[in-house]
Amino acid sequence: MPGARLPRHLLAAGLAAAALLGTAACAAPATTASPAPAATATASRAPSPAPSNSGPANQQQLDAAADAVSHLAGSYQDAFTGLAVDTANGRLTVYRKPGTGFDGALSRLALGVPVDLQDAPRSISDLASTRGRVEALRGHTTGYSIRSIGDGSVVSFTQGVVEVGVTGDLATAKRDLGQRFGDHVAVSATEPVVG
Say yes or no to pLDDT of 18 above 50. Answer: no
**What is the pLDDT averaged over residues 163-172?**
97
Predicted confidence (pLDDT) per residue in 23-41, tens digit:
333 333 333 333 332 222 3
- Cβ–Cβ contacts within 10 Å for residue 143, how many? 13
What are the C-alpha distances in Å from 136 to residues 9, 27, 68, 84, 101? 26, 11, 33, 28, 32
Q: Is 172 helix (H, G, I), strand (E, B) or coil?
A: helix
173 or 8: whose pLDDT is higher? 173
Under 8 Å between Cβ of 92 and 83: yes
Give percent of the chain with pLDDT exceeding 70: 70
Side chain identity at residue 45, one-letter code: R
CA distance 42 to 19: 8
Phi, psi of 28 (to 5 degrees): -155, 140
Predicted confidence (pLDDT) per residue in 3-14, tens digit:
333 333 344 444
What is the CB-side half-sphere exposure of residue 129 using CA atoms within 13 A? 11
pLDDT at position 195 is 58
Confidence grade of residue 191 (pLDDT, cut at 50, 70, 90): confident
In 3-state terms the chain splits into helix, strand, coil percentages (rounded to 5) of: 35, 20, 45
pLDDT at position 5 is 36
CA distance 38 to 85: 19
CA distance 147 to 130: 16
CA distance 152 to 61: 23
pLDDT at position 54 is 59
pLDDT at position 130 is 97
CA distance 166 to 86: 31
- Cβ–Cβ contacts within 10 Å for residue 53, how many? 4
Predicted confidence (pLDDT) per residue in 55-99, tens digit:
667 899 999 999 999 999 999 999 999 999 999 999 999 999 998
